Amino acid sequence: MNLVRRLGIAAVLATVLAVVAAGCGSSGGGGGTIIRGTTDQPVSYDPAGAYDLPSYDVIYNVYQNLMTIPPGENKPVPEAAEKCDFTNPTTYECTLQDGLKFSDGDPLTSKDVKFSFDRNVEIADPNGASSLLANMKSVDAPDDKTVVFHLKQPDATWPFVLTVASFAIVDSSDFPKDKLQPSDEVIGSGRYTVASYKPGQQTVLEKNDAYTGDDPAENDTAIVQYYDKSSTLKLDVENGEVDIAYRSLSPTDIDSLRDADGVSIVEGNGTEIRYLVFNLKLQEGTSDAQKLAVRQAVAQTVDREAIAKNVYDDTVDPLYSMVPQGLEFATKAFAEKYGESPDEAAAKKTLADAGVKTPVPLEIWWTPSHYGPSSGDEYAEIKNQLDDSGLFTVSLKSTEWTQYSEAAFTNKYPQYELGWFPDYPDANDYTAPFYAKDSFLNISYDNPEMNKLLEQEAAETDEAKRAQLFKKIQDIGAEEVPTLPIWQGKQVAAVRDGVSGVEDTFDPSFIFRYWLITKD
């Protein structure tokens, strides 16, 4: 029998067998295994080398921090520490709990804590978050259970900084002090260990039986499966290959899954925001007053509700302040000043009063891939809204992320799209980076009153006083509009029926707590 015939028969046989085996397809894991699919890929599981959410996802589950944000809340409480406090405005002292242990049996002492912070600064990995420790002068471990941080300036955000995954506690006897530990060989004291890491494919977390805390994992294994395209991820959560699909499904995917059998959509309070930035130097307008009028008029014309509904199918909420809802001290400054819905008459008046000729030409930049393809839709929508009012003519420009991220901050774009992801869920992280004189935005915004307020809130530990400071800050931000907040994203996951706990872990901290998730 010749080759062709043989090949043909083999092919037919293979197909028949495949069809027959259809019923026996594998799907999901047993009750003790949770599988989550995502399109984000991690950088490193060594805390000193990570400053991205996918890495943080695993780090929070494998290590402990001195402080952490409990599920459903937005303020730090001690985790590895027993208690932590400021002993004076620039000294922060923590006492560790008893009996803490790493997964390999090594005891966790203050020596490990000091080691973790020191190496973070020494390695200063380009992908790491050592810049968040800029305010730390030194850290001491006077005895096994005490850690003392000496800060350069008073800092009310320090407890929050301690919750950041980049500052998780590592085992000083295993981790090198001057370079990163390979991601598949990390040792932490958290609820899971990294059983296997195949870059680009999957991370497998196994329950750490040596965990000393009193809230160990409620499942045995958590598998994080990586996908290139969200469309494939959607198919797999529909078919039951994965139990949870979280970050990132498109609005169309989510809509379709709402109607699908066996899957439901879980939403939670998210704190990632999207906003429009004005470069005050490059703006249209002959005087500061005119430029301000243009910015305010845009604020009065943009219809956030339409964007949330038309572009994002309500997977985002309109945002009326740079500080998103869900964080302490968040207000709705823009709504208070301009109203929740657009007011074209007011915008017209604002421009007329300042003597600005309409329609105002606006060049707005956005980037196609970094913030997802919907940002194209979003800016098309914004353009339509602004053009339709008759007060503006918008020309949209886009360029891919690498060039965009450099050009935007080197005075090349007069108006541009930007997103923000918190380092920690404190209002400071949503104001200082944008409103301060030396903001990374580099938009020539310099308001002395704002600068002073920011300094004060950073040092102020009294909550009531801080609330007042932040109210003022957000009001000024709404008045001057150097940046225009547009929406705040919900945390959205597609979850198979029978899987619970996902809604419990959705809170402003963005910690994805695999240990809370169970499956029938």
Partner 1 sequence: MSRKGSLRTYVLTRLVLAIPTVLILLTMVFLLMRVAPGNPIQVALGGHLSQQEIDRRSAEAGYDKPIPAQYVEYLGDVFTGNLGTTLTDHRTVTSIIVENGSATLELTIAAMLVALVVGLTVGILAGRFRDTPIDLGGRLFGIVVYAAPVFFVGYLLQLLFGSTLHWLPTSGRVGPVTEFELDTTTHLYLIDSLISGNFNAFWDAVTHLILPAVTLGLLVSGVLIRLVRVNLMQTMRGDYVEAARARGVSERRVVLEHAFRNALIPVVTVAGLQFAILLGGAILTEQTFNWPGIGSELVRYLNERDYIAVQGIITVFALAVVLVSLLIDLINAFIDPRVRY
Partner 2 sequence: MHMPKFAGIRRMAARIQEAKGAPRWILYVGVGIVVFFIILAIFAPLIAPYGFDQVSSDGMRFPKQASPSSDHLFGTTVQSTDVLSRTIWGARTAIEVVVLSVIFSIAIGVPLGLVSGYIGGKLDRGLVLIMDALFAFPYLLLAIVVAFLLTDKLNDFFLSNLFGAGIVTAAVAITVVYIPQYFRVVRNHVISVREEPYVEAARALGAKRRTIIGRYIFYNVIQNVPALATLNAADAILTLAALGFLGYGIQPTEAAEWGYDISRAIDDVGAGIWWTGVFPGMAIVLLVTGFTLVGEGLNDVLNPLIRYRRIRKPKIPAAQGQEAS
Range 203-262, binding partner 2 (CB under 8 A): 229-231, 234-235, 238, 250, 252-253, 255-256
Contact 379, 419 (CB under 8 A): no
- The values of phi and psi at residue 502, to 5°, are -65, -40
Determine the longest span between alpha carbons in the chain, in angstroms: 91
Q: Indicate whether 373 belongs to the interface with partner 2 (CB under 8 A).
A: yes
Element of type H or E holding 365: strand 360-366
The answer to whether the beta carbons of residues 187 and 104 sit under 8 Å apart is: yes
Nearest distance from C-beta of residue 371 to partner 1, angstroms = 9
| Nearest CB to partner 1, comparing residues 202 and 310 | 202
Q: Residue 33 interacts with partner 1 (CB under 8 A)?
A: yes
Q: How far apart are CA 262 and CA 442, in angstroms?
A: 48
Q: Which is nearer to partner 1, 153 or 201 (CB)?
A: 201
- Tokens representing residue 152 in the block: 């350069």
Binding status of residue 195 toward partner 1 by CB under 8 A: yes
Of 231 and 456, which has the nearer Cβ to partner 2? 231
Name residues contacting partner 1, limited to 357-386 (CB under 8 A).
369-370
Instruction: Decide if residue 352 touches partner 2 (CB under 8 A).
Output: no
Cβ-contact 431, 477 below 8 angstroms: yes
What distance in Å separates the CA atoms of residue 79 and residue 76, rounded to the nearest whole number? 9
Among 346, 396, 459, 467, binds partner 2 (CB under 8 A): 396
Nearer to partner 2 by C-beta: 185 or 400?
A: 400
Phi-psi group of 444: left, alpha or beta (phi > 0 → left; psi -120 to 50 → alpha; rest → beta): left
Tokens 């943009």: give the residue.
302
DSSP 309: I
**C-alpha closest to that of 189 among 210, 217, 175, 205:** 210
193 close to 205: Cβ distance less than 8 angstroms = yes
User: According to CB under 8 A, which one of 242, 293, 297, 450 is a site residue for partner 1?
Assistant: 242
Write down the least CB distance from residue 259 to partner 1, Å: 14
**398 touches partner 2 (CB under 8 A):** yes
> Which residues 313-352 are close enough to bind partner 1 by CB under 8 A?
none
Count of C-beta atoms within a 10 Å radius of residue 215 = 12
Residues 437-476, mask of contacts with partner 1 (x by CB under 8 A): -xxx-x----------------------------------
CA-to-CA separations, 37 to 13, 92, 236, 238, 324, in angstroms, rounded: 33, 39, 8, 12, 27
For the segment 199-228, give every residue that binds partner 1 (CB under 8 A): 199-202, 204, 223, 225, 227-228
CB of residue 416 vs partner 1: minimum separation in angstroms? 10
Question: Residue 328 interacts with partner 2 (CB under 8 A)?
Answer: no
Nearer to partner 2, 109 or 367 (CB): 367
What are the distances in angstroms from CA 503 to CA 70, 71, 397, 422, 513?
14, 10, 38, 20, 10
Q: Which of 188, 209, 193, 207 minimizes the C-alpha distance to 80? A: 188
Q: Between β-strands 146-151 and 192-198, what pairing exists: parallel, antiparallel or unpaired?
A: unpaired
From the CB of 10, what's the least distance to partner 1, in Å? 8
Site for partner 1 in 104-143 (CB under 8 A): 124, 126-127, 131
Cβ–Cβ < 8 Å for 297, 462:
no
Site membership for partner 1, residue 178 (CB under 8 A)? no
> What does 451 bind: partner 1, partner 2, none (CB cut-off 5 to 8 Å by kind)?
none
438 to 91, 94, 435, 443, 481: CA distances (angstroms): 26, 32, 8, 9, 17
Report the nearest approach of partner 1 to the CB of residue 459 (Å).
Answer: 22
CB nearer partner 2, residue 201 or residue 403:
403
Q: Which does residue 252 bind out of partner 2, partner 1, none, counting CB within 5 to 8 angstroms by kind?
A: partner 2
Footprint on residues 10-29 left by partner 1 (CB under 8 A): 11, 14-15, 18-19, 21-22, 24-27, 29
Binds partner 1 by CB under 8 A, chosen from 1, 229, 261, 520: 229
- Which listed range, 72-80, 114-122, 233-241, 484-492, lies at the site for partner 1 (CB under 8 A)? 233-241
What is the smallest separation between the CB atom of 346 and partner 2, expressed in angstroms? 22
Give the tokens for residue 196: 């296997």
From partner 2, partner 1, none, interface partner of 135 (C-beta below 5 to 8 A by class): none
Looking at beta carbons only, is 309 or 465 nearer to partner 2?
Answer: 309
CB closer to partner 2 out of 218 and 253: 253
CB closer to partner 2 out of 153 and 395: 395
Regarding 238 and contact with partner 1 (CB under 8 A), the answer is: yes
User: Which residue type does 60 have?
Assistant: Y
In this structure, the number of other CB atoms found within 10 A of the CB of residue 306 comes to 16
- Which of these ranges, 40-48, 75-83, 318-326, 377-385, lies near partner 2 under the rule CB under 8 A? 377-385
155-174: contacts with partner 1 (CB under 8 A): none
Please tell me whether residue 500 binds partner 2 under the rule CB under 8 A.
Answer: no
Contact 491, 267 (CB under 8 A): yes
* H-state helical runs in 389-509: 401-408, 432-435, 448-459, 463-480, 502-505
Q: What is the binding site for partner 2 (CB under 8 A)?
A: 229-231, 234-235, 238, 250, 252-253, 255-256, 310, 368-369, 373, 376-377, 380, 384, 396-400, 403
